[in-house]
Structure 1
Amino acid sequence: MKQISIYDTTLRDGTQAEEISLSTADKIRIAGKLDALGVDYIEGGWPGSNETDRSFFQEIRQYDLSHSRIAAFGSTCNPKGRAADDANLRALVEAEPDAVTLFGKTWDLHVTEALRVSLERNLDIISDSISHMCAHAPEVFFDAEHFFDGYRKNPDYALACLRHAHEAGAKVLVLCDTNGGSLPFEVREIVQTVRAALPEAQLGIHTHNDSETAVANAVEAVFAGAVQVQGTINGFGERCGNANLCSIIPNLELKSGGRFRCLPEGRLKLLTSTSQFVSELCNLRPFMRQPYVGKSAFAHKGGVHVSAVLRNPETYEHVRPELVGNEQRVLLSDLSGRSNILFMAKKYGYALDKNDSAVLDLLDEVKTRESQGYEYSTAEASFELMFFKAMGWSKRYFHLINFNVVDSMREGFTEPYAEATVMLKVGGMVEHTAATGQGQVNALDVALRKALTPFYPTLGEMRLEDFKVRVLHGVMRDSGGTASVVRVLIESADATDRWTTVGVHYDVIHASWQALVDSINYKLFKDDPKKFPVGGKHFPQSEPK
């Protein structure tokens, strides 16, 4: 089995993506996760370019990483000077990393047009910079920028650049598809050619996704002989992104017939949680349909698919989701069959028969509600409440008497004023509260929780994470469309869980109320201490079936 070195550049190349900005503290936390995952190198940034990256290298020295080595990134020396006098290279040395990656020009167009020096001078720059850094850093890698474009235009010169870097002491020559325009067959052929030309050199691969081939290109390079793969978690990066390590790593470990190892034994199962952690810290919603680690990667909706998967997961799953820390999911919709209901029942701890009246009733209710605009493939918490109601769960945590919401614009104010009043009956007592908020739904949420929190303190842990409204054009209340039915999805979370609920109505506030009430009921339901694992995960022994 061949060990492939995984070089993560999320903290440097990944932050060049739109919408991503990380503080030093963020980068330290991500580095801890990457170390736990077991990547070999964590590129912390370019210490010669900004204060955040310099701060990271100072701070990371205070942490004892269990596996990963910290790499610093920078360019070859200024064309007008020498490596020994270069401020950028000095900053790399002062950062005291475990490894240094220098990028240099290998496309003759960039040498003459961007650097504006002769081809020979660029070779001297590469040799001088690499040899200087090898005297000051434990390991030095050479990123051959724009290598594949350069090789296609002038293969002799591109190879000469690699040869100079190798002879100067670079441990790995990393071939970069910087513009992301290469195709897999080209990458494989060129890597094989480079290996033949420089048989003693170790090669790496760094690809971008502008042609949607970054992952395939990286995999092809490994099969052609590359021993290091550079990429980012979730494929974050400039323009269309970098090669996605969340796909490359399992592709190599699970699809190569045992030829390659990327992570330490047992670490692959941390991949999904690492992906989600990085997305959250970057303040980006995880991509549901991302291969291997996405929430939808092993989700099944059609009844025929579900029936087959329940018999044998291999029928519609290319790998077992547990291998990468993900899980199989069965979605509920108007495409559902009895297999979907049986799967969810088993998930909740019930071994129901396919001819059980509860199964047929639930299936009919799901299909009816979906035709009205409800969406249970996303709003699993709403379905779970509906399921346990069908199973006999009869407890009501509160009873609505009435609510009222007003939204107005007052003279002299630039922002609207929203206020909600709620009257509830809780445990035989009537609670009447009012609250203001940033919009009607927020005011309603604040007023509702204000009334309930004295009775249910754990609601203080709950927060609303997301709110989505969609007009359902296929369901109208009038011919003009002004009373179109809307669907509201509310995503909520507490310290341990995240859940989504749904509401549907022609009145957006009423739809929001439905989703909001389901969200609060789900929180109270899952925290209810009077539930026992008798017949099901949540079913309370004292409640009638």
Structure 2
Amino acid sequence: MSKVEIYDTTLRDGTQAENFNLQLEDKLKIAQKLDEIGVDYIEGGWPGSNPKDIHFFSRIKNYHFKKAQIVAFGSTHHPQKIPQTDPNLKTLIEAKTEVVTIFGKSWDLHVKDALRISLERNLEIISDSLAYLRSHVKKLFYDAEHFFDGFKDNPEYALATIKKAIEAGADCIIFCDTNGGTLPFELETIISQVKSKFPNISWGIHAHNDAGTAVANSLMAVHLGATQVQGTINGVGERCGNADLCSIIPALKLKMGIDCVTDEQLAKLTSVSRYITELLNIAHPPYLPYVGRSAFAHKGGVHVSAVKRNPQTYEHIPPQKVGNIRRILISELSGKSTILSKAKEWGIDLESEDPEVQKILQELKDLENQGFQFDVAEESFKLRIYKARGELKKHYFRLLTYRVHDYNTLDGRPIAEAEVWVEVKGRERHAISLGMGPVNALDRALRNALEEFYPRLKEMSLIDYRVRVLPETSGTEAKVRVLIESRDKECVWRTVGVSHDILEASLQALLDSIVYKLFLDERREKC
């Protein structure tokens, strides 16, 4: 297999995703991260569409990349213009990138209904646009938009558009499944016919995920001879997204034997995937293949026991190859092996015949039967292990009583007031605080009462709060589970509470979170 080049379009096609917005500085940071994982081409944006992308191409010239080349993206010229007077093509040239990609129409439906021009005029536009750009750039790529749908409806015309692009000097033809509805066996049939017509062309694949086949189609294309694969980090993109490079890159390297990136670059994949979601201030999808938090997570006792003996029993690749880690989850499915593995992971020495193990296991099952969920809030369970071992004997503080009142201000803003009485180191403290909601007010009141004794609580902040109604009962009788995520300068931890009362469940999780912070500080443990 010849070299396969990775073409990233996160900064352009990816930004068309819902709730995915990048500022200029964000785009510059992400471009540097993409270079770190060995991407060959970074599509920086469409300079003819908005001022932000124009500024990006101006700024990116000052950055040095080890491998990646920056690409400017645009379309063929406007039907009512010629290339020399088309502002879109002009901005592509002014971007001064060595690589330019433009797209054109392959589907006669789009030519007739979207452009409202003749089929022959569309062929002229493709040819003239590419021929004009050819002398201004080092590399010229052509995205054949809607190629597969166009081929299904009118194969002769779809192939005619490709012929024009080749004749006009495109270095690589990228076949686009723009609507994302093509299945892998359909792609194989169509590409085979294309190759019989144009046996010597350099070609690539650009797949969308509307039918859930974007990664499969991309890998199938490489199997059939594609030398360029386009996609986005985490598969972000319009509608259901683009082909996910975080799945494609490791599949190419580890499963198909194609050295598209180095081992060192591949090992940075998970961190780059998560860096981008962090930059966007959105949750990283836990179930992403290869890079998700759950990709190498093991929950059932049988699985855990087998993985301890040989990870290949339930892992298709070693997680460290993509920069991820193996995780043993705590759940009602857990057996002794799970408890022992988690204890070892946390640096706690437990023996399999230790009665503490059975005691911890029984408590785990009892709590999960009540609705607690520890696989996403391991720190709450970690505290229970230490308590069972007698290592959490002393009380950092005791909550004696609390109450919360909700108010509505004259301007309609809801405000909560929380009052707490706590006992700390033999002394009682009373604190009252206002907050935006009862949980925020309770959090502030507890801190006001405790920070005199534990000043490092000022380092701690609550960064996520989630409530889920448990399905066992319905309506207002239902239990709720509250998950709280907290952080300080070094660590992030998650705690859980369950009750019929949402405030009580929130308080349980909040108290666990504070105690865990104090426990970390006392033992000077790190994450």
Q: Encode CA deviations 1:196-228: one digit per residue, 9 max, x unaligned.
A: 322332101000111111110000000000010
Q: Does 1:304 align with 2:298?
A: no
Shift of 1:472: 2.5
Partner SS state of residue 79, structure 2: coil
Q: How far apart in 1 are the matches of 2:366 and 2:388?
A: 15
On the 8 A contact 1:484/1:506 being kept in 2, the answer is yes
Cα distance change, pair 427–351 in 1 and its aligned pair in 2 (3 A)? closer
Q: Does 1:50 align with 2:50?
A: yes
TM-score normalised over the length of structure 1: 0.92
Q: What amino acid sits opposite 2:514 in the alignment?
A: I
- The residue number in structure 1 matching 2:450 is 452
Aligned length, in residue pairs? 526
On the 8 A contact 1:98/1:139 being kept in 2, the answer is yes
Q: How far apart in 2 are the matches of 1:62 and 1:398?
A: 55
- The residue number in structure 1 matching 2:522 is 528
On the 8 A contact 2:263/2:321 being kept in 1, the answer is no
Higher mean C-alpha deviation, range 159-168 or range 318-327: 159-168
Shift of 1:265: 3.3
Q: What amino acid sits opposite 1:503 in the alignment?
A: G
- The residue number in structure 2 matching 1:341 is 339
The 5 Å alignment of 1:241-260 reads 241-256=241-256, 258=257, 260=258
Unaligned runs of 5+ in 1: 532-536, 539-545
Q: What amino acid sits opposite 2:398 in the alignment?
A: H
- The residue number in structure 2 matching 1:158 is 158
Shift of 1:3: 2.4
Shift of 1:351: 4.3
Q: What amino acid sits opposite 1:182 in the alignment?
A: T
On the 8 A contact 1:195/1:225 being kept in 2, the answer is no
Shift of 1:129: 0.9
- The residue number in structure 1 matching 2:260 is 262
- The residue number in structure 1 matching 2:505 is 511
On the 8 A contact 1:402/1:422 being kept in 2, the answer is yes
Q: How far apart in 2 are the matches of 1:84 and 1:482?
A: 68
Q: How far apart in 1 are the matches of 2:524 and 2:214?
A: 52
- The residue number in structure 2 matching 1:205 is 205
Shift of 1:403: 2.4
On the 8 A contact 1:191/1:225 being kept in 2, the answer is no
The 5 Å alignment of 1:28-107 reads 28-107=28-107
Partner SS state of residue 261, structure 1: coil
Q: How far apart in 2 are the matches of 1:117 and 1:484?
A: 60
Q: What amino acid sits opposite 2:507 in the alignment?
A: W
Q: What amino acid sits opposite 1:308 in the alignment?
A: A
Cα distance change, pair 213–473 in 1 and its aligned pair in 2 (3 A)? closer
Higher mean C-alpha deviation, range 218-227 or range 161-170: 161-170
- The residue number in structure 2 matching 1:16 is 16
Aligned mate of 1:358, from 356, 359, 362: 356
- The residue number in structure 2 matching 1:498 is 492
Shift of 1:428: 4.2
Higher mean C-alpha deviation, range 501-510 or range 359-368: 501-510
Shift of 1:429: 4.2
Q: Does 1:408 align with 2:416?
A: no
Q: How far apart in 2 are the matches of 1:62 and 1:453?
A: 47
Shift of 1:123: 1.7
Cα distance change, pair 123–530 in 1 and its aligned pair in 2 (3 A)? closer
Q: How far apart in 2 are the matches of 1:108 and 1:530?
A: 67
Q: Encode CA deviations 1:86-109: one digit per residue, 9 max, x unaligned.
A: 100111111222311100011122
Cα distance change, pair 216–418 in 1 and its aligned pair in 2 (3 A)? same
Partner SS state of residue 49, structure 2: coil
Aligned mate of 2:429, from 428, 431, 436: 431
Shift of 1:409: 2.6
Q: How far apart in 2 are the matches of 1:201 and 1:413?
A: 68
On the 8 A contact 2:146/2:179 being kept in 1, the answer is yes
Higher mean C-alpha deviation, range 18-27 or range 423-432: 423-432
Q: How far apart in 2 are the matches of 1:469 and 1:81?
A: 56
Shift of 1:286: 1.5
Partner SS state of residue 358, structure 1: helix
Shift of 1:19: 1.4
Q: Encode CA deviations 1:444-498: one digit per residue, 9 max, x unaligned.
A: 11222233334434333322222112222426xxxx8644322111112234332
On the 8 A contact 1:342/1:354 being kept in 2, the answer is yes
Unaligned runs of 5+ in 2: none
Amino-acid identity (%): 54
Shift of 1:516: 0.6
Higher mean C-alpha deviation, range 74-83 or range 62-71: 62-71
Q: How far apart in 1 are the matches of 2:350 and 2:89?
A: 67
On the 8 A contact 1:20/1:283 being kept in 2, the answer is no
Shift of 1:414: 0.5
Shift of 1:235: 0.9
Shift of 1:117: 2.2
- The residue number in structure 2 matching 1:398 is 397
Q: Does 1:192 align with 2:161?
A: no
Shift of 1:281: 2.3
- The residue number in structure 2 matching 1:172 is 172
Q: What amino acid sits opposite 2:510 in the alignment?
A: L
The 5 Å alignment of 1:221-240 reads 221-240=221-240
Higher mean C-alpha deviation, range 130-139 or range 396-405: 396-405
- The residue number in structure 1 matching 2:119 is 119
Q: How far apart in 2 are the matches of 1:167 and 1:77?
A: 17
Q: What amino acid sits opposite 2:149 in the alignment?
A: D
- The residue number in structure 2 matching 1:534 is none
Shift of 1:182: 0.6
Q: How far apart in 1 are the matches of 2:516 and 2:402?
A: 20
Q: How far apart in 1 are the matches of 2:98 and 2:518?
A: 50
Higher mean C-alpha deviation, range 32-41 or range 521-530: 521-530
Q: What amino acid sits opposite 1:318 in the alignment?
A: H
Shift of 1:183: 0.6
- The residue number in structure 2 matching 1:293 is 291
Cα distance change, pair 212–167 in 1 and its aligned pair in 2 (3 A)? same
The 5 Å alignment of 1:140-151 reads 140-151=140-151
Q: What amino acid sits opposite 2:305 in the alignment?
A: S
On the 8 A contact 1:397/1:521 being kept in 2, the answer is yes
Cα distance change, pair 530–226 in 1 and its aligned pair in 2 (3 A)? closer
- The residue number in structure 1 matching 2:467 is 469
On the 8 A contact 1:192/1:225 being kept in 2, the answer is no
Q: How far apart in 2 are the matches of 1:224 and 1:497?
A: 46
Partner SS state of residue 195, structure 1: helix
Shift of 1:390: 2.2
Higher mean C-alpha deviation, range 57-66 or range 240-249: 57-66
The 5 Å alignment of 1:311-326 reads 311-326=309-324
